[in-house]
Protein backbone atom coordinates (compact mmCIF):
# COMPACT_ATOMS: atom_id res chain seq x y z
CA UNK A 1 0.00 0.00 0.00
CA UNK A 2 1.61 3.15 -1.23
CA UNK A 3 -0.53 5.28 1.01
CA UNK A 4 1.12 4.11 4.16
CA UNK A 5 3.94 6.48 3.33
CA UNK A 6 1.62 9.17 4.58
CA UNK A 7 1.76 7.95 8.15
CA UNK A 8 2.71 10.80 10.47
CA UNK A 9 6.19 12.08 10.02
CA UNK A 10 5.84 14.69 12.72
CA UNK A 11 5.51 12.65 15.86
CA UNK A 12 4.61 14.82 18.84
CA UNK A 13 6.66 14.32 21.94
CA UNK A 14 3.50 13.25 23.71
CA UNK A 15 0.25 12.23 22.13
CA UNK A 16 -3.24 12.84 23.44
CA UNK A 17 -4.61 9.57 22.10
CA UNK A 18 -2.54 6.79 20.62
CA UNK A 19 -4.11 3.75 18.98
CA UNK A 20 -2.13 0.70 17.92
CA UNK A 21 -3.50 -2.12 15.83
CA UNK A 22 -7.12 -1.66 16.82
CA UNK A 23 -9.41 -4.30 15.35
CA UNK A 24 -13.16 -4.49 15.97
CA UNK A 25 -15.73 -6.74 14.40
CA UNK A 26 -19.47 -7.21 14.56
CA UNK A 27 -20.01 -10.92 14.27
CA UNK A 28 -18.28 -12.01 11.07
CA UNK A 29 -17.98 -8.50 9.69
CA UNK A 30 -14.79 -6.60 10.35
CA UNK A 31 -15.65 -3.01 11.22
CA UNK A 32 -12.09 -1.75 11.56
CA UNK A 33 -8.91 -3.67 10.96
CA UNK A 34 -5.59 -2.95 12.60
CA UNK A 35 -5.99 0.80 12.71
CA UNK A 36 -3.19 2.93 14.12
CA UNK A 37 -3.56 6.56 15.07
CA UNK A 38 -1.66 9.17 16.99
CA UNK A 39 -3.68 12.28 17.78
CA UNK A 40 -1.62 15.26 18.98
CA UNK A 41 -2.26 17.27 22.12
CA UNK A 42 -4.06 20.62 21.91
CA UNK A 43 -5.25 20.21 18.37
CA UNK A 44 -8.48 19.64 16.53
CA UNK A 45 -8.40 16.28 14.81
CA UNK A 46 -10.91 14.89 12.35
CA UNK A 47 -11.65 11.26 11.63
CA UNK A 48 -12.98 10.98 8.10
CA UNK A 49 -13.91 8.21 5.73
CA UNK A 50 -16.90 6.95 3.76
CA UNK A 51 -20.07 5.53 5.33
CA UNK A 52 -19.36 2.22 6.98
CA UNK A 53 -15.65 2.98 7.23
CA UNK A 54 -15.71 2.36 10.98
CA UNK A 55 -15.35 5.95 12.21
CA UNK A 56 -17.93 5.76 15.00
CA UNK A 57 -16.83 2.25 15.82
CA UNK A 58 -13.31 3.53 16.34
CA UNK A 59 -14.53 6.07 18.92
CA UNK A 60 -16.70 3.51 20.65
CA UNK A 61 -13.85 1.05 20.87
CA UNK A 62 -11.61 3.74 22.36
CA UNK A 63 -14.03 4.47 25.20
CA UNK A 64 -14.78 0.80 25.73
CA UNK A 65 -18.41 0.83 24.65
CA UNK A 66 -17.61 -1.48 21.75
CA UNK A 67 -15.41 -4.46 22.67
CA UNK A 68 -12.21 -4.69 20.67
CA UNK A 69 -10.65 -7.84 19.29
CA UNK A 70 -7.14 -6.53 19.62
CA UNK A 71 -5.17 -3.34 19.91
CA UNK A 72 -3.74 -0.98 22.47
CA UNK A 73 -5.04 2.43 23.39
CA UNK A 74 -3.01 4.98 25.30
CA UNK A 75 -3.92 8.45 26.42
CA UNK A 76 -1.06 10.76 27.33
CA UNK A 77 1.17 7.67 27.04
CA UNK A 78 -0.72 5.79 29.74
CA UNK A 79 -3.05 2.84 29.22
CA UNK A 80 -6.59 4.09 28.84
CA UNK A 81 -8.08 1.76 31.45
CA UNK A 82 -7.30 3.93 34.45
CA UNK A 83 -7.54 7.22 32.62
CA UNK A 84 -11.02 7.15 31.19
CA UNK A 85 -11.99 10.12 33.33
CA UNK A 86 -9.75 12.32 31.19
CA UNK A 87 -12.06 11.69 28.25
CA UNK A 88 -15.44 13.29 27.61
CA UNK A 89 -17.56 11.61 24.96
CA UNK A 90 -20.27 13.31 22.93
CA UNK A 91 -22.37 10.58 21.32
CA UNK A 92 -24.38 10.96 18.16
CA UNK A 93 -27.49 12.96 18.89
CA UNK A 94 -29.71 10.27 17.38
CA UNK A 95 -28.33 7.58 19.67
CA UNK A 96 -30.74 8.42 22.50
CA UNK A 97 -34.47 8.71 22.88
CA UNK A 98 -35.23 12.41 23.32
CA UNK A 99 -38.70 11.59 24.65
CA UNK A 100 -37.03 10.65 27.91
CA UNK A 101 -38.75 12.54 30.74
CA UNK A 102 -36.11 15.02 31.79
CA UNK A 103 -35.05 18.60 31.17
CA UNK A 104 -31.99 20.35 29.82
CA UNK A 105 -30.16 21.13 33.05
CA UNK A 106 -30.69 17.57 34.26
CA UNK A 107 -28.92 16.15 31.21
CA UNK A 108 -26.00 18.56 31.66
CA UNK A 109 -25.72 17.54 35.32
CA UNK A 110 -25.19 13.94 34.17
CA UNK A 111 -21.73 15.15 33.21
CA UNK A 112 -21.08 15.67 36.93
CA UNK A 113 -22.21 12.23 38.07
CA UNK A 114 -18.70 10.85 38.24
CA UNK A 115 -17.65 13.80 40.36
CA UNK A 116 -20.56 13.82 42.82
CA UNK A 117 -20.98 10.04 42.98
CA UNK A 118 -24.10 8.02 43.51
CA UNK A 119 -25.67 9.97 46.34
CA UNK A 120 -23.62 13.16 46.57
CA UNK A 121 -25.76 16.26 46.42
CA UNK A 122 -25.81 18.60 43.46
CA UNK A 123 -24.93 21.56 45.62
CA UNK A 124 -24.65 25.19 44.63
CA UNK A 125 -21.22 24.71 43.11
CA UNK A 126 -22.22 21.80 40.87
CA UNK A 127 -25.43 23.53 39.87
CA UNK A 128 -23.49 26.61 38.82
CA UNK A 129 -20.98 24.51 36.85
CA UNK A 130 -23.84 22.99 34.89
CA UNK A 131 -25.36 26.42 34.22
CA UNK A 132 -22.01 27.80 33.15
CA UNK A 133 -21.52 24.95 30.68
CA UNK A 134 -24.98 25.58 29.24
CA UNK A 135 -24.08 29.24 28.91
CA UNK A 136 -20.93 28.35 26.96
CA UNK A 137 -23.05 26.62 24.31
CA UNK A 138 -25.56 29.46 24.31
CA UNK A 139 -28.40 27.52 25.91
CA UNK A 140 -28.57 29.04 29.39
CA UNK A 141 -32.04 30.48 28.92
CA UNK A 142 -33.44 27.06 27.97
CA UNK A 143 -32.22 25.27 31.09
CA UNK A 144 -35.68 24.21 32.23
CA UNK A 145 -36.91 23.04 28.86
CA UNK A 146 -38.10 19.49 28.35
CA UNK A 147 -35.49 17.80 26.11
CA UNK A 148 -38.13 16.45 23.74
CA UNK A 149 -38.98 20.01 22.72
CA UNK A 150 -35.47 20.89 21.57
CA UNK A 151 -34.44 21.22 17.95
CA UNK A 152 -31.67 18.98 16.60
CA UNK A 153 -29.09 21.71 17.00
CA UNK A 154 -30.16 22.41 20.56
CA UNK A 155 -29.95 18.71 21.42
CA UNK A 156 -26.41 18.62 20.11
CA UNK A 157 -25.48 21.66 22.20
CA UNK A 158 -26.91 20.05 25.33
CA UNK A 159 -24.74 17.00 24.71
CA UNK A 160 -21.72 19.24 24.28
CA UNK A 161 -22.53 21.10 27.51
CA UNK A 162 -22.75 17.76 29.32
CA UNK A 163 -19.28 16.86 28.07
CA UNK A 164 -17.97 20.30 29.11
CA UNK A 165 -19.24 19.67 32.64
CA UNK A 166 -16.87 16.72 32.88
CA UNK A 167 -13.92 19.10 32.57
CA UNK A 168 -11.94 16.49 30.62
CA UNK A 169 -8.64 16.70 28.75
CA UNK A 170 -9.76 14.94 25.58
CA UNK A 171 -13.10 15.46 23.86
CA UNK A 172 -14.34 12.72 21.55
CA UNK A 173 -17.25 13.78 19.38
CA UNK A 174 -19.25 11.54 17.06
CA UNK A 175 -20.50 13.58 14.10
CA UNK A 176 -21.17 16.74 16.13
CA UNK A 177 -22.34 18.71 13.09
CA UNK A 178 -24.68 16.11 11.69
CA UNK A 179 -28.14 17.55 11.11
CA UNK A 180 -27.61 20.80 12.98
CA UNK A 181 -28.38 24.35 11.86
CA UNK A 182 -25.68 26.80 10.80
CA UNK A 183 -25.89 28.78 14.05
CA UNK A 184 -25.30 25.64 16.09
CA UNK A 185 -22.40 24.58 13.90
CA UNK A 186 -20.81 27.99 14.49
CA UNK A 187 -21.48 27.82 18.24
CA UNK A 188 -20.01 24.33 18.54
CA UNK A 189 -16.90 25.25 16.56
CA UNK A 190 -16.36 28.30 18.77
CA UNK A 191 -16.58 26.17 21.90
CA UNK A 192 -14.19 23.58 20.47
CA UNK A 193 -11.69 26.25 19.44
CA UNK A 194 -11.76 27.77 22.90
CA UNK A 195 -11.14 24.30 24.34
CA UNK A 196 -8.16 23.91 22.05
CA UNK A 197 -6.80 27.25 23.21
CA UNK A 198 -6.90 25.83 26.75
CA UNK A 199 -4.69 22.92 25.60
CA UNK A 200 -7.54 20.44 25.39
CA UNK A 201 -7.49 17.88 22.58
CA UNK A 202 -10.49 17.49 20.32
CA UNK A 203 -11.10 14.44 18.16
CA UNK A 204 -14.25 14.39 16.05
CA UNK A 205 -15.77 12.01 13.55
CA UNK A 206 -16.62 14.32 10.69
CA UNK A 207 -18.58 13.76 7.50
CA UNK A 208 -18.60 17.12 5.74
CA UNK A 209 -15.44 17.14 3.65
CA UNK A 210 -16.01 20.76 2.67
CA UNK A 211 -15.33 22.03 6.18
CA UNK A 212 -12.41 19.78 7.13
CA UNK A 213 -9.80 22.39 6.18
CA UNK A 214 -11.61 25.19 8.01
CA UNK A 215 -12.19 23.39 11.25
CA UNK A 216 -9.39 20.92 11.81
CA UNK A 217 -5.63 20.86 11.86
CA UNK A 218 -5.04 17.11 11.96
CA UNK A 219 -6.79 14.29 10.13
CA UNK A 220 -7.10 10.52 10.28
CA UNK A 221 -8.53 8.95 7.15
CA UNK A 222 -9.82 5.43 7.44
CA UNK A 223 -11.80 2.98 5.42
CA UNK A 224 -11.83 -0.12 7.63
CA UNK A 225 -8.03 0.12 7.46
CA UNK A 226 -5.73 3.10 7.78
CA UNK A 227 -5.62 5.27 4.68
CA UNK A 228 -3.61 8.25 5.85
CA UNK A 229 -2.89 10.33 8.90
CA UNK A 230 -1.21 13.65 9.56
CA UNK A 231 -1.49 17.41 9.46
CA UNK A 232 -4.28 18.67 7.24
CA UNK A 233 -2.03 20.48 4.78
CA UNK A 234 0.06 17.41 4.09
CA UNK A 235 -2.54 14.71 4.41
CA UNK A 236 -5.84 16.07 3.13
CA UNK A 237 -4.80 15.52 -0.47
CA UNK A 238 -6.53 14.47 -3.61
CA UNK A 239 -4.67 11.19 -3.71
CA UNK A 240 -5.58 10.25 -0.13
CA UNK A 241 -9.21 11.27 -0.56
CA UNK A 242 -9.40 9.10 -3.64
CA UNK A 243 -8.04 6.08 -1.86
CA UNK A 244 -10.28 6.64 1.17
CA UNK A 245 -13.49 7.18 -0.75
CA UNK A 246 -12.66 5.16 -3.83
CA UNK A 247 -14.96 5.84 -6.74
CA UNK A 248 -17.51 7.43 -4.46
CA UNK A 249 -15.90 10.82 -4.81
CA UNK A 250 -15.75 12.60 -8.15
CA UNK A 251 -12.18 13.27 -9.20
CA UNK A 252 -12.74 16.96 -9.82
CA UNK A 253 -14.48 17.18 -6.47
CA UNK A 254 -11.52 15.74 -4.66
CA UNK A 255 -9.14 18.07 -6.39
CA UNK A 256 -11.25 21.01 -5.41
CA UNK A 257 -11.41 19.92 -1.79
CA UNK A 258 -7.75 19.30 -1.40
CA UNK A 259 -6.55 22.25 -3.42
CA UNK A 260 -8.64 25.13 -2.20
CA UNK A 261 -10.31 26.33 0.92
CA UNK A 262 -13.47 27.21 -0.97
CA UNK A 263 -16.67 25.80 0.37
CA UNK A 264 -18.07 23.16 -1.90
CA UNK A 265 -21.13 21.09 -1.32
CA UNK A 266 -20.94 17.34 -1.39
CA UNK B 1 -68.81 -3.82 59.05
CA UNK B 2 -65.39 -2.44 59.97
CA UNK B 3 -64.31 -5.77 61.41
CA UNK B 4 -65.48 -7.52 58.29
CA UNK B 5 -63.52 -5.09 56.13
CA UNK B 6 -60.37 -5.64 58.14
CA UNK B 7 -60.79 -9.40 58.15
CA UNK B 8 -61.55 -9.89 54.50
CA UNK B 9 -60.49 -6.84 52.55
CA UNK B 10 -57.66 -5.01 54.28
CA UNK B 11 -54.88 -7.54 53.63
CA UNK B 12 -55.85 -8.27 50.00
CA UNK B 13 -55.95 -4.55 49.27
CA UNK B 14 -52.59 -3.99 50.98
CA UNK B 15 -51.02 -6.90 49.13
CA UNK B 16 -52.51 -5.68 45.87
CA UNK B 17 -51.07 -2.20 46.50
CA UNK B 18 -47.61 -3.46 47.42
CA UNK B 19 -47.49 -5.92 44.52
CA UNK B 20 -48.56 -3.13 42.20
CA UNK B 21 -45.83 -0.80 43.46
CA UNK B 22 -43.20 -3.55 43.27
CA UNK B 23 -44.00 -4.04 39.59
CA UNK B 24 -44.73 -0.44 38.63
CA UNK B 25 -41.41 1.00 39.87
CA UNK B 26 -39.10 -1.19 37.73
CA UNK B 27 -41.74 -0.95 34.99
CA UNK B 28 -40.89 2.76 34.61
CA UNK B 29 -37.38 1.95 33.50
CA UNK B 30 -38.42 -0.97 31.30
CA UNK B 31 -40.88 1.25 29.46
CA UNK B 32 -38.38 4.07 28.96
CA UNK B 33 -35.85 1.57 27.62
CA UNK B 34 -38.57 0.34 25.24
CA UNK B 35 -38.34 -3.08 26.83
CA UNK B 36 -41.79 -3.21 28.37
CA UNK B 37 -42.31 -6.76 27.20
CA UNK B 38 -39.36 -7.97 29.27
CA UNK B 39 -41.80 -7.86 32.17
CA UNK B 40 -44.25 -9.95 30.17
CA UNK B 41 -41.57 -12.42 29.16
CA UNK B 42 -40.28 -12.80 32.70
CA UNK B 43 -43.71 -13.26 34.21
CA UNK B 44 -44.34 -16.06 31.72
CA UNK B 45 -41.01 -17.77 32.07
CA UNK B 46 -41.02 -17.83 35.86
CA UNK B 47 -44.13 -20.00 36.07
CA UNK B 48 -42.46 -23.38 35.35
CA UNK B 49 -39.62 -22.34 37.68
CA UNK B 50 -42.05 -21.60 40.47
CA UNK B 51 -43.93 -24.84 39.92
CA UNK B 52 -40.79 -26.96 39.86
CA UNK B 53 -39.54 -25.23 42.99
CA UNK B 54 -42.84 -26.04 44.63
CA UNK B 55 -42.63 -29.69 43.60
CA UNK B 56 -39.18 -29.98 45.15
CA UNK B 57 -39.88 -28.14 48.39
CA UNK B 58 -43.58 -28.80 48.81
CA UNK B 59 -44.19 -25.32 50.13
CA UNK B 60 -44.75 -21.93 48.63
CA UNK B 61 -41.95 -19.77 49.90
CA UNK B 62 -40.09 -16.94 48.34
CA UNK B 63 -36.47 -18.07 48.20
CA UNK B 64 -37.01 -21.45 46.46
CA UNK B 65 -39.47 -19.79 44.11
CA UNK B 66 -36.93 -17.12 43.24
CA UNK B 67 -34.27 -19.75 42.63
CA UNK B 68 -36.69 -21.71 40.48
CA UNK B 69 -37.58 -18.58 38.56
CA UNK B 70 -33.92 -17.74 38.04
CA UNK B 71 -33.27 -21.26 36.77
CA UNK B 72 -36.21 -21.01 34.40
CA UNK B 73 -34.96 -17.68 33.11
CA UNK B 74 -31.56 -19.22 32.46
CA UNK B 75 -33.11 -22.13 30.58
CA UNK B 76 -35.18 -19.67 28.58
CA UNK B 77 -32.14 -17.64 27.54
CA UNK B 78 -30.34 -20.79 26.43
CA UNK B 79 -33.36 -22.12 24.54
CA UNK B 80 -33.79 -18.81 22.72
CA UNK B 81 -30.15 -18.88 21.70
CA UNK B 82 -30.39 -22.50 20.52
CA UNK B 83 -33.57 -21.92 18.54
CA UNK B 84 -32.11 -18.79 16.99
CA UNK B 85 -28.98 -20.62 15.89
CA UNK B 86 -30.49 -23.92 14.78
CA UNK B 87 -33.72 -22.59 13.36
CA UNK B 88 -32.14 -19.47 11.86
CA UNK B 89 -35.22 -17.45 12.75
CA UNK B 90 -35.47 -13.91 14.02
CA UNK B 91 -35.00 -13.30 17.77
CA UNK B 92 -38.57 -12.06 18.32
CA UNK B 93 -40.02 -15.32 17.03
CA UNK B 94 -37.58 -17.42 19.07
CA UNK B 95 -38.53 -15.51 22.22
CA UNK B 96 -42.24 -15.82 21.53
CA UNK B 97 -41.97 -19.57 21.14
CA UNK B 98 -39.84 -20.05 24.24
CA UNK B 99 -41.89 -17.82 26.54
CA UNK B 100 -45.27 -19.24 25.66
CA UNK B 101 -43.86 -22.75 25.47
CA UNK B 102 -42.37 -22.58 28.93
CA UNK B 103 -45.48 -20.96 30.32
CA UNK B 104 -47.62 -23.74 28.87
CA UNK B 105 -45.21 -26.29 30.31
CA UNK B 106 -45.64 -24.66 33.71
CA UNK B 107 -49.40 -24.92 33.41
CA UNK B 108 -49.17 -28.61 32.40
CA UNK B 109 -46.84 -29.55 35.26
CA UNK B 110 -49.02 -27.66 37.70
CA UNK B 111 -52.10 -29.54 36.56
CA UNK B 112 -50.41 -32.88 37.20
CA UNK B 113 -49.15 -31.92 40.63
CA UNK B 114 -50.93 -32.61 43.87
CA UNK B 115 -51.40 -29.17 45.35
CA UNK B 116 -54.38 -29.91 47.49
CA UNK B 117 -52.63 -28.79 50.65
CA UNK B 118 -51.72 -25.37 49.41
CA UNK B 119 -53.17 -22.65 47.28
CA UNK B 120 -51.42 -23.43 44.06
CA UNK B 121 -53.42 -24.54 41.13
CA UNK B 122 -53.75 -23.42 37.57
CA UNK B 123 -56.45 -20.89 38.25
CA UNK B 124 -54.50 -19.26 41.06
CA UNK B 125 -51.28 -19.30 39.10
CA UNK B 126 -52.93 -17.45 36.27
CA UNK B 127 -55.17 -15.09 38.13
CA UNK B 128 -53.86 -14.94 41.66
CA UNK B 129 -55.67 -15.61 44.89
CA UNK B 130 -55.97 -12.20 46.43
CA UNK B 131 -59.40 -12.94 47.91
CA UNK B 132 -58.10 -15.81 49.98
CA UNK B 133 -55.46 -13.75 51.77
CA UNK B 134 -57.65 -12.97 54.74
CA UNK B 135 -56.99 -12.07 58.36
CA UNK B 136 -59.63 -13.88 60.38
CA UNK B 137 -58.26 -13.10 63.83
CA UNK B 138 -58.76 -9.38 63.39
CA UNK B 139 -61.38 -7.86 65.64
CA UNK B 140 -61.38 -4.28 64.43
CA UNK B 141 -58.93 -1.41 64.13
CA UNK B 142 -57.42 -2.23 67.55
CA UNK B 143 -56.05 -5.46 66.05
CA UNK B 144 -53.56 -3.37 64.12
CA UNK B 145 -51.85 -2.66 67.43
CA UNK B 146 -52.11 -6.15 68.89
CA UNK B 147 -48.85 -7.98 68.24
CA UNK B 148 -50.31 -11.45 68.75
CA UNK B 149 -53.06 -10.81 66.26
CA UNK B 150 -50.70 -9.12 63.84
CA UNK B 151 -48.67 -12.34 63.77
CA UNK B 152 -51.62 -14.11 62.19
CA UNK B 153 -51.55 -11.90 59.14
CA UNK B 154 -50.94 -13.92 55.96
CA UNK B 155 -47.27 -14.60 55.24
CA UNK B 156 -47.75 -13.24 51.75
CA UNK B 157 -48.18 -9.77 53.23
CA UNK B 158 -44.82 -9.84 55.01
CA UNK B 159 -43.11 -11.14 51.91
CA UNK B 160 -44.51 -8.45 49.67
CA UNK B 161 -43.68 -5.76 52.25
CA UNK B 162 -40.09 -6.95 52.20
CA UNK B 163 -39.89 -7.16 48.41
CA UNK B 164 -41.54 -3.77 47.91
CA UNK B 165 -39.27 -2.14 50.47
CA UNK B 166 -36.22 -3.74 48.86
CA UNK B 167 -37.17 -2.51 45.40
CA UNK B 168 -37.89 1.03 46.61
CA UNK B 169 -34.64 1.12 48.57
CA UNK B 170 -32.56 0.04 45.55
CA UNK B 171 -34.37 2.48 43.30
CA UNK B 172 -33.58 5.39 45.61
CA UNK B 173 -29.94 4.39 46.14
CA UNK B 174 -29.16 3.72 42.50
CA UNK B 175 -31.39 6.48 41.15
CA UNK B 176 -28.73 8.38 39.22
CA UNK B 177 -27.27 5.25 37.66
CA UNK B 178 -30.69 3.95 36.67
CA UNK B 179 -31.55 7.29 35.15
CA UNK B 180 -28.43 7.71 33.08
CA UNK B 181 -28.24 4.09 31.95
CA UNK B 182 -31.87 4.28 30.86
CA UNK B 183 -31.33 7.56 29.01
CA UNK B 184 -27.90 7.10 27.45
CA UNK B 185 -26.26 3.76 28.07
CA UNK B 186 -23.11 4.39 26.03
CA UNK B 187 -22.41 7.67 27.72
CA UNK B 188 -23.00 6.10 31.11
CA UNK B 189 -20.17 3.68 30.45
CA UNK B 190 -17.80 6.48 29.56
CA UNK B 191 -18.32 8.07 32.96
CA UNK B 192 -17.50 4.83 34.73
CA UNK B 193 -20.94 3.35 35.29
CA UNK B 194 -21.27 -0.36 34.63
CA UNK B 195 -24.31 -0.28 32.39
CA UNK B 196 -24.47 -4.02 32.02
CA UNK B 197 -24.63 -4.54 35.79
CA UNK B 198 -27.46 -2.01 36.04
CA UNK B 199 -29.32 -3.63 33.15
CA UNK B 200 -28.86 -7.08 34.60
CA UNK B 201 -29.99 -5.89 38.04
CA UNK B 202 -33.09 -4.37 36.50
CA UNK B 203 -33.99 -7.73 34.98
CA UNK B 204 -33.36 -9.47 38.32
CA UNK B 205 -35.51 -6.91 40.14
CA UNK B 206 -38.22 -7.42 37.55
CA UNK B 207 -38.06 -11.16 38.16
CA UNK B 208 -38.26 -10.66 41.94
CA UNK B 209 -41.27 -8.40 41.50
CA UNK B 210 -42.89 -10.91 39.16
CA UNK B 211 -42.35 -13.78 41.59
CA UNK B 212 -43.59 -11.78 44.56
CA UNK B 213 -46.65 -10.53 42.71
CA UNK B 214 -47.31 -14.00 41.33
CA UNK B 215 -48.73 -15.19 44.62
CA UNK B 216 -51.28 -12.43 44.83
CA UNK B 217 -52.17 -11.30 41.35
CA UNK B 218 -51.08 -14.30 39.29
CA UNK B 219 -48.64 -14.55 36.46
CA UNK B 220 -50.78 -13.26 33.60
CA UNK B 221 -52.14 -10.17 35.21
CA UNK B 222 -48.78 -9.11 36.61
CA UNK B 223 -47.89 -7.77 33.17
CA UNK B 224 -50.57 -5.11 33.54
CA UNK B 225 -48.88 -3.97 36.74
CA UNK B 226 -45.53 -3.65 34.98
CA UNK B 227 -46.83 -1.62 32.07
CA UNK B 228 -50.05 0.28 32.78
CA UNK B 229 -49.12 2.43 35.82
CA UNK B 230 -45.76 3.64 34.43
CA UNK B 231 -47.14 4.16 30.92
CA UNK B 232 -49.99 6.22 32.35
CA UNK B 233 -47.54 8.07 34.60
CA UNK B 234 -45.37 9.03 31.62
CA UNK B 235 -48.35 10.93 30.22
CA UNK B 236 -48.72 12.93 33.44
CA UNK B 237 -45.27 14.50 33.65
CA UNK B 238 -42.00 15.20 31.88
CA UNK B 239 -39.83 14.47 34.90
CA UNK B 240 -38.60 10.99 35.71
CA UNK B 241 -38.89 11.33 39.49
CA UNK B 242 -42.45 12.58 39.28
CA UNK B 243 -43.24 9.86 36.77
CA UNK B 244 -42.18 7.17 39.24
CA UNK B 245 -44.31 8.77 41.96
CA UNK B 246 -47.31 8.93 39.64
CA UNK B 247 -46.82 5.27 38.72
CA UNK B 248 -46.95 4.41 42.43
CA UNK B 249 -50.11 6.49 42.85
CA UNK B 250 -51.74 4.74 39.88
CA UNK B 251 -50.74 1.31 41.20
CA UNK B 252 -52.36 2.16 44.54
CA UNK B 253 -55.53 3.48 42.90
CA UNK B 254 -55.77 0.42 40.64
CA UNK B 255 -55.38 -1.96 43.60
CA UNK B 256 -57.97 -0.22 45.78
CA UNK B 257 -60.60 0.41 43.12
CA UNK B 258 -59.96 -2.90 41.40
CA UNK B 259 -60.50 -4.84 44.59
CA UNK B 260 -63.59 -2.91 45.62
CA UNK B 261 -65.22 -3.08 42.19
CA UNK B 262 -64.46 -6.81 41.91
CA UNK B 263 -65.92 -7.51 45.32
CA UNK B 264 -68.93 -5.24 45.32
CA UNK B 265 -69.40 -4.12 41.71
CA UNK B 266 -71.42 -7.14 40.57
CA UNK B 267 -73.74 -6.67 43.59
CA UNK B 268 -74.59 -3.20 42.37
CA UNK B 269 -75.76 -4.72 39.12
CA UNK B 270 -77.84 -7.34 40.89
CA UNK B 271 -75.45 -10.23 40.49
CA UNK B 272 -74.63 -12.35 43.50
CA UNK B 273 -71.09 -13.38 42.58
CA UNK B 274 -67.98 -11.28 42.76
CA UNK B 275 -65.36 -11.31 40.00
CA UNK B 276 -61.60 -11.92 40.16
CA UNK B 277 -59.95 -9.11 42.12
CA UNK B 278 -56.65 -9.43 40.28
CA UNK B 279 -58.46 -9.33 36.96
CA UNK B 280 -60.35 -6.24 37.98
CA UNK B 281 -57.16 -4.54 39.20
CA UNK B 282 -55.68 -5.09 35.75
CA UNK B 283 -58.83 -3.74 34.14
CA UNK B 284 -58.77 -0.63 36.33
CA UNK B 285 -55.11 0.01 35.54
CA UNK B 286 -55.99 -0.30 31.87
CA UNK B 287 -58.78 2.23 32.35
CA UNK B 288 -56.34 4.58 34.10
CA UNK B 289 -54.02 4.29 31.10
CA UNK B 290 -56.91 4.98 28.75
CA UNK B 291 -57.91 8.08 30.72
CA UNK B 292 -54.36 9.46 30.75
CA UNK B 293 -54.12 8.79 27.01
CA UNK B 294 -57.14 11.04 26.55
CA UNK B 295 -56.57 13.65 29.23
CA UNK B 296 -52.95 13.35 30.43
CA UNK B 297 -51.23 16.76 30.39
CA UNK B 298 -48.01 15.55 28.74
CA UNK B 299 -49.38 13.27 26.08
CA UNK B 300 -48.51 15.70 23.25
CA UNK B 301 -44.83 15.59 24.03
CA UNK B 302 -44.52 11.83 23.90
CA UNK B 303 -43.78 9.87 20.77
CA UNK B 304 -43.80 12.76 18.32
CA UNK B 305 -41.10 13.59 15.86
CA UNK B 306 -39.51 16.99 16.20
CA UNK B 307 -37.11 18.99 14.01
Share of chain A above pLDDT 90, in %: 64
DSSP calls for B242-300: HHHHHHHHHHHHHHHHHHHHHHHHHHHTT-S----HHHHHHHHHHHHHHHHHHH-TTST
CATH class in words for B2-132+155-220: mainly alpha
For residue range B98-137, list pLDDT tens digits in order.
888 998 898 888 888 766 656 667 777 777 778 778 887 7
For residue B290, give Cα distances in angstroms to A99, B37, B294.
Answer: 20, 19, 6
How far separated are the first and last CA of chain B, in Å rounded? 60
Does residue A265 lie within any of the structural domains? no
For residue range A72-112, list pLDDT tens digits in order.
999 998 898 888 889 999 999 989 999 999 999 999 999 99
Residue A2 predicted with pLDDT over 50: no
Does residue A10 lie within any of the structural domains? yes
Q: Count how many pairs of residues, chain A against chain B, have C-beta atoms within 8 Å.
A: 89
| Contacts with B105 (C-beta within 8 Å, 6 or more apart), sequence order | B48
Contacts of A60 in chain B (CB under 8 A): 186
For residue range B241-282, list pLDDT tens digits in order.
999 999 999 999 999 999 999 888 887 877 777 788 888 999
Please classify residue A74 by burial: count the beta carbons closer than 10 Å to its beta carbon, then call 0-12 exposed, 13-18 middle and 19+ buried.
Answer: middle
For an interface test with B, which of A58, A100, A101 has the most B Cβ atoms less than 10 Å from its Cβ? A101
What pLDDT is stored for residue A253 in this prediction?
64
**A224 contacts A31 by C-beta, under 8 angstroms:** yes
What pLDDT is stored for residue B32 in this prediction?
93
Q: Is A115 on the interface with B (CB under 8 A)?
A: no
Domain that holds residue A151: 2-252
**B233 contacts B27 by C-beta, under 8 angstroms:** no
Residue B301 predicted with pLDDT over 50: yes
Does residue A200 lie within any of the structural domains? yes
Q: In the 8-state DSSP scheme, what is residue B121?
A: S
Q: Is B184 on the interface with A (CB under 8 A)?
A: yes
Inter-chain CB proximity B307 and A114 less than 8 Å = no
Average pLDDT over chain A, rounded to an integer: 86
- From the CA of B179, how many Å to the nearest CA of chain A? 9
Contacts of A63 in chain B (CB under 8 A): 186, 189-190
For residue A140, give Cα distances in angstroms to A104, A145, A176, A181.
Answer: 9, 10, 20, 18
Contacts of A113 in chain B (CB under 8 A): 176, 180, 191, 193
Nearest to A96 among B184, B301, B304 (CB): B184
A165 pLDDT band, cuts 50/70/90, is very high
Task: Report which of B224, B219, B237, B194 is spatially closest to residue B288, judged by C-alpha positions.
Answer: B224
Report the SS3 class of residue A149.
helix
What number of H helices and E strands is found in chain A? 10, 10
In this prediction the ipTM stands at 0.84
What pLDDT is stored for residue B182 in this prediction?
95
Share of chain A above pLDDT 70, in %: 88
Write the CATH number for A191: 3.40.50.300
Does residue A55 lie within any of the structural domains? yes
Residue B149 predicted with pLDDT over 90: no
Does residue A231 lie within any of the structural domains? yes
The domain locations on chain B are 2-132+155-220
Quick one: average pLDDT of B145-163?
A: 84
Domain count across chain A? 1
More confident of the two residues B274 and A199: A199
What pLDDT is stored for residue A248 in this prediction?
64
Please compute Rg for chain A using Cα positions.
Answer: 19
Does residue A266 lie within any of the structural domains? no
Dihedral angle of Cα A233, A236, A239, A240, to the nearest 10 degrees: 130
For residue range A122-137, list pLDDT tens digits in order.
777 888 899 999 999 9
Amino acid sequence: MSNTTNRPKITPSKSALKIDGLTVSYGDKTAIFSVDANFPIASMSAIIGPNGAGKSTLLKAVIGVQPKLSGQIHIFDNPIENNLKKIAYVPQRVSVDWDFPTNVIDVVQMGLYRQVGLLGRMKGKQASIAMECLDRVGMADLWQKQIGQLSGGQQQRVFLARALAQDAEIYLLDEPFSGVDAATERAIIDVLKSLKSKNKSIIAVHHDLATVRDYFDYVLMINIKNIAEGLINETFTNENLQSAYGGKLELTHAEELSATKDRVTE
Amino acid sequence: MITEFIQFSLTPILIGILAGISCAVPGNFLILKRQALIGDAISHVVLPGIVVAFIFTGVISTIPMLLGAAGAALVAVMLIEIIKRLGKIEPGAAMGVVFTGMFALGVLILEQTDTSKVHLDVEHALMGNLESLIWLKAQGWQSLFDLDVLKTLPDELFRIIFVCGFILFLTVIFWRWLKIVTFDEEYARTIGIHSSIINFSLVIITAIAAVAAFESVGSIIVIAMFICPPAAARLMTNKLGIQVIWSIVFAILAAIFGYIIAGYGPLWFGSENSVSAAGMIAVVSGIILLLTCMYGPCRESVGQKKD
